[in-house]
Amino acid sequence: MVVIGLIGPTFLQLTYLESFILGSVLGAVSPAVVVPRMIKMIENKQGTNKGIPQMVIAGSSLDDIVMIVCFTSLLTIEADDSLNVMTFINVPLSIILGVGIGILTGLLLSIIFKKIHMRDSLKLALILGICFAYVFLESYISQWIGFSSLLANITIGITLLAKNALQAHRIAQKCDRLWSISEIFLFVLVGASIQLKAIWSLILPAILVIVVGLAFRFIATYSCMIKTNLNFRERLFVSISYLPKATVQATIGGGLLDLGNKLNDQAIIAAGNIVLMVSVVAILLTASFGALTIDLTTNKLINRDLVLENNKPE
């Protein structure tokens, strides 16, 4: 995020704030690409004795949360024409309120689900209704007080998982079925927002910014594991696993453009189009490349777990 934020103004003619918004969008790792492959590794007992797939799942999930926090915070600053004390107060306030309301809602839902018997599909409908309501609520109260509906919605899921993991996994299975349809609408809507004439003039600078950002991401990820018990091949595999971009970029890539349309600010709209188009290029470049690279390197870089001697048949 920092690297893209610093080089964005030079190659994409964005302000530093808009470049850091782009960096927060591109900084997220795609769970849709990474998580299924890590689950397959766990099922095949590859790298689980060192916790490699578990670490990648947990780390990429935390990465997404941190990037969404940065994205919503930077977007809040961009939405305020003049920087003042309340602008900076609203950033941590939106995080605290979002997380706090998410925890309270998750606790309340866990109690309701425990006391009242209902089908999993009805539970999912109730959760989605509350999440949509928070997004709708944010658009009204954001002019007076900071509130992050995205963080609130994420925290609801985390709280439900902490209170009742079995129930949360059952709801997640229902959500996966719904997501298989919803993601089609998501990517179609993102594609419909792209201006084809403009994207060709941005394609080379966009690729350059993405490649430079990924290079620093790769180096930083590898450096974080130097003092661990992972060997060179395992560190290389984890670094590769942090490259794919897809669903998160499709979800929040148009956030700046939406803000510009809401404020009817042509400068923000122009910057929003650039951020959206670079996000789409990142998806096209890294989603398939990252998925294919992980698939090709899993067996070569990660060994299967050794069976304990006392578990072997005589």
Query: Residue 76 falls within a domain, yes or no?
Result: yes
Q: Range of 252's domain? A: 2-302
Stretch among 108-112, 159-163, 181-185, 256-260 having the lowest mean pLDDT: 181-185
Percent of the chain with pLDDT over 70: 91
Report how far Cα 126 is from the mean position of its chain's Cα atoms. 23
The enclosing H or E element of 133 equals helix 120-141
Q: Is the pLDDT of residue 83 over 60?
A: no
Q: Please, what is the Cα angle at 118 between 112 and 121, to 5 degrees?
A: 110
Cβ pair 21, 79 in contact under 8 A: no
Query: Residue 115 falls within a domain, yes or no?
Result: yes
Q: Cα(103)–Cα(11) distance, rounded to whole angstroms?
A: 41
- pLDDT given at position 313: 44
Q: Please, what is the Cα angle at 57 between 278 and 285, to 5 degrees?
A: 25
Q: Is the pLDDT of residue 123 over 70?
A: yes
Q: What is the DSSP letter of 307?
A: P
Query: Residue 285 falls within a domain, yes or no?
Result: yes
161-204 per-position pLDDT tens digit? 888 888 888 888 888 788 778 878 877 777 776 777 767 778 89
- pLDDT given at position 2: 93
> Mean pLDDT over residues 134-163, rounded?
83
> Mean pLDDT over residues 279-304, rounded?
88
- pLDDT given at position 220: 93
Beta bridge partner(s), residue 145: none
Q: What average pLDDT does the chain have?
A: 85
- Quote the number of domains for the chain: 1
If one compares 142 and 264, the residue with the highest pLDDT of the two is 264
Q: Is the pLDDT of residue 144 over 80?
A: no
Query: Residue 90 falls within a domain, yes or no?
Result: yes
Query: Residue 312 falls within a domain, yes or no?
Result: no
Q: Cα(216)–Cα(254) distance, rounded to whole angstroms?
A: 24
Query: Residue 220 falls within a domain, yes or no?
Result: yes
Q: What is the DSSP letter of 303?
A: P
Cβ pair 45, 305 in contact under 8 A: yes
Q: Cα(286)–Cα(27) distance, rounded to whole angstroms?
A: 12
Beta bridge partner(s), residue 304: 46
- pLDDT given at position 314: 41
Q: Is the pLDDT of residue 309 over 70?
A: no
> Mean pLDDT over residues 151-156, rounded?
87
Q: Cα(215)–Cα(40) distance, rounded to whole angstroms?
A: 27
Q: Is the pLDDT of residue 311 over 50?
A: no
- pLDDT given at position 126: 92
If one compares 293 and 79, the residue with the highest pLDDT of the two is 293
209-254 per-position pLDDT tens digit? 999 999 999 999 999 998 888 999 999 999 999 998 888 888 888 8
Q: Cα(218)–Cα(220) distance, rounded to whole angstroms?
A: 6
Query: Residue 248 falls within a domain, yes or no?
Result: yes
12-61 per-position pLDDT tens digit? 989 999 999 999 999 988 887 888 888 888 888 888 888 899 899 888 88
Q: Is the pLDDT of residue 67 over 90?
A: no
- pLDDT given at position 81: 60
Q: Phi and psi (nearest 5°) for 125? A: -60, -40
Q: What is the DSSP letter of 46?
A: B
pTM beyond 0.85 = no
Q: Is the pLDDT of residue 6 over 80?
A: yes
DSSP, residue by residue, 176-239: HHHHHHHHHHHHHHHHHT--HHHHHHHHHHHHHHHHHHHHHHHHHHHHHTTTSS--HHHHHHHH
